[in-house]
C-alpha cells in the first residue's frame, strides 16, 4: 500500500488522515481494525474465492475520488461496485481473463460530527449504518467480482449534490429496501459527489431539529446543490400549527433561506406516490393531501425549481398495473431473505428495481430544469419515460449481505 501526503488532523476523531491511498488488491490485505485503518471489512477476506467482499479505509469526512481497476489475470470477472450503505456506482462490469476496466467516481463520507459542540442526532437504527462512521467502505459484489487496484484521493473540488428527505430517498442499509437516493450516483461521473443525508421517518421539521441541515451547511460549498423531497411523513404531524399550508410551508422556507445564504442552489422534489389503487385497480388514488400542492406553491413563490416526482411515479405505477407494480416495491413471499419468516407487503418503500427506476425519473426532472450539473451525466444514460419503464424481469441486482425484515420508519 502506498500512502501519500500525511496530514495530522485534530478536528476529527482520527489519529492521522492521509490524502491518498493506493491498494494493490492482487496482494494480501489485512482485516480492518481501527488502529491499522484499512482492510477487508463486514465479510471475511475473499481469498481465492469469487464471493462478494467489502474493503474499508479510515478517513475524515469529505468527498473522495475513487479509482478502481476491475478484472483478473486469472479469470473472467463480473463486478458490481457500491459504497457505504449500498450506493450504486458501477452497475455491472464484465471483463475477460487478463482484461481490465477502470472506473472513477466520487464517494461522500460522513460522520455525525458537525463541530466541537454539535452532532447530528441520528436514530438508534442509524448507528449500524455504514454511512455514519469513520470509514469509507466499498462493496464489491456481482456474479464473480475481481479487483486489481483501488485508489482513494481526497477531492475538494467536485460539486456536491446533497439529498434531504425520508425513507423514499435515504441510502437504505439493508436488503430488500432501496431508495432513489442510493441509485442516482450510478448516473454521475467522477466530477460530481452525492451526499445523501435523508433518513427514514423524517419530516421537514424533524430533519431540521436533528441538525441534519446544519451538517449539510457545514460541508456545503458555493455552487453545491441541495435537493429536498418531503411530504410522506409531514402529513402525519398533528400538533398545533401543523399542516401543509403553515408548518410544512414554513419549514420549507427555512431550507430555502439557509441554503441560499450559504451559496447553494435548492431544488424541491414532490413526494413519490404510494401504491394505492382505486377499486378498479387502474388508477392511483391521492394519499398525500395538500402537501404536494403546498410544496409547489412555496417553490413558485420563492423561485425554487421543482421536480414533479409525484406525477411521474403515478404514471409509473399505473403503467405497471395493479399486480406488476408490486415488483417495484417490497413485496416478497416469506423466506425470500434470511430470517424473513413472514411475507413482506409494503406499498410505500421501493425495492432495488423500483428505486433504480425512480432515480431515472429524478434525472429526467433535472433535464427538464436544464441543470448545469447534467454535463456530468455518464454517457450511457438514456432518456427515461415512466410510461415505458424498464422490464423488471431483466433487471439485475446482486443482493448485499446485509438484509433485514424491519420496515423502515415512515409510510
pTM exceeds cut of 0.85? yes
Residues in the chain: 411
245 near 294, Cβ under 8 Å? Answer: yes
pLDDT for position 320 = 98
C-alpha cell at 280: 378498479
**Confidence class for position 18, pLDDT limits 50, 70, 90:** low
pLDDT for position 13 = 34
The catalytic site residues sit at: 167, 345, 349
Task: Give the E-state strand segments of 118-200 in sequence order.
Answer: 135-144, 147-154, 160-164, 193-196
Alpha helices in 188-308 (DSSP H): 204-209, 212-219, 249-261, 291-302
Q: Is the pLDDT of residue 52 over 70?
A: yes
- Per-residue model confidence as pLDDT tens digits over 82-120: 999 999 999 999 999 999 999 999 999 999 999 999 999
Q: In a 3-state reduction of DSSP, which class is residue 180? A: helix
- Per-residue model confidence as pLDDT tens digits over 299-309: 999 999 999 99
- CATH assignment of 1-156? 2.60.120.260
Q: Nearest Cα to 40, choosing from 20, 25, 50?
A: 25
Distance, in Å, from the CA atom of 168 to the CA atom of 145, rounded to the nearest integer, reads 29
Alpha helices in 54-145 (DSSP H): none
- Per-residue model confidence as pLDDT tens digits over 176-226: 999 999 999 999 999 999 999 999 999 999 999 999 999 999 999 999 999
- CATH assignment of 158-411? 3.40.50.1110
The whole-chain average pLDDT of the chain stands at: 93
Domain ranges of the chain: 1-156, 158-411
Q: Is the pLDDT of residue 165 over 50?
A: yes
- Per-residue model confidence as pLDDT tens digits over 350-406: 999 999 999 999 999 999 999 999 999 999 999 999 999 999 999 999 999 988 888
Share of the chain above pLDDT 90, in %: 88
Amino acid at each position: 500500500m502506498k500512502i501519500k501526503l500525511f496530514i495530522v488532523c485534530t478536528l476529527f476523531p482520527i489519529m492521522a488522515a492521509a490524502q491518498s491511498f493506493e491498494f494493490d488488491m492482487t496482494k494480501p490485505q489485512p482485516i480492518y481494525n481501527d488502529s491499522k485503518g484499512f482492510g477487508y471489512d463486514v465479510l471475511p477476506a475473499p481469498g481465492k474465492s469469487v464471493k462478494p467482499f467489502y474493503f474499508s479505509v479510515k478517513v475524515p469526512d469529505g468527498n473522495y475520488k475513487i479509482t478502481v481497476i476491475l478484472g483478473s489475470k486469472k479469470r473472467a470477472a463480473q463486478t458490481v461496485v457500491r459504497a457505504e450503505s449500498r450506493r450504486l456506482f458501477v452497475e455491472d462490469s464484465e471483463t475477460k481473463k487478463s482484461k481490465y476496466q477502470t472506473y472513477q467516481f466520487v464517494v461522500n463520507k460522513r460522520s455525525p460530527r458537525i463541530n466541537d459542540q454539535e452532532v447530528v442526532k441520528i436514530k438508534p437504527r442509524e448507528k449500524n449504518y455504514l454511512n455514519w462512521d469513520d470509514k469509507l467502505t466499498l462493496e464489491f459484489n456481482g456474479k464473480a467480482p475481481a479487483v486489481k487496484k483501488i485508489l482513494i484521493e481526497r477531492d475538494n473540488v467536485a460539486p456536491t449534490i446533497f439529498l434531504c428527505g425520508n425513507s423514499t430517498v435515504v441510502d437504505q442499509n439493508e436488503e430488500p429496501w432501496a431508495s432513489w437516493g442510493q441509485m442516482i450516483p450510478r448516473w454521475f461521473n467522477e466530477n460530481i459527489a452525492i451526499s445523501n443525508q435523508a433518513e427514514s421517518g423524517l419530516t421537514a421539521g424533524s430533519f431540521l431539529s436533528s441538525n441534519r441541515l446544519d451538517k449539510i451547511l457545514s460541508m456545503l460549498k458555493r455552487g453545491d446543490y441541495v435537493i429536498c423531497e418531503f411530504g410522506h411523513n409531514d402529513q402525519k404531524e398533528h400538533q398545533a400549527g401543523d399542516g401543509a399550508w403553515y408548518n410544512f410551508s414554513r419549514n420549507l422556507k427555512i431550507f430555502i433561506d439557509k441554503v441560499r445564504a450559504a451559496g447553494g442552489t435548492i431544488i424541491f422534489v414532490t413526494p413519490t406516490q404510494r401504491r394505492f389503487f382505486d377499486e378498479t385497480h387502474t388508477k392511483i388514488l391521492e394519499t398525500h393531501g395538500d402537501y404536494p400542492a403546498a410544496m409547489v406553491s412555496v417553490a413558485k413563490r420563492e423561485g425554487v425549481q421543482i421536480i414533479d416526482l409525484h406525477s411521474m411515479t403515478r404514471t409509473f405505477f399505473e403503467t405497471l398495473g395493479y399486480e406488476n407494480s408490486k415488483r417495484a416495491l417490497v413485496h416478497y413471499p416469506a423466506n425470500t431473505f434470511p430470517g424473513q419468516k413472514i411475507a413482506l407487503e409494503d406499498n410505500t418503500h421501493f425495492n432495488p428495481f423500483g428505486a433504480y427506476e425512480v432515480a431515472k425519473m429524478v434525472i429526467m426532472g433535472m433535464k427538464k430544469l436544464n441543470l448545469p450539473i447534467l454535463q456530468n451525466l455518464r454517457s450511457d444514460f438514456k432518456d427515461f419515460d415512466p410510461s415505458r419503464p424498464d422490464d423488471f424481469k431483466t433487471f439485475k441486482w446482486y443482493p448485499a449481505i446485509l438484509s433485514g425484515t424491519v420496515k423502515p420508519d415512515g409510510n
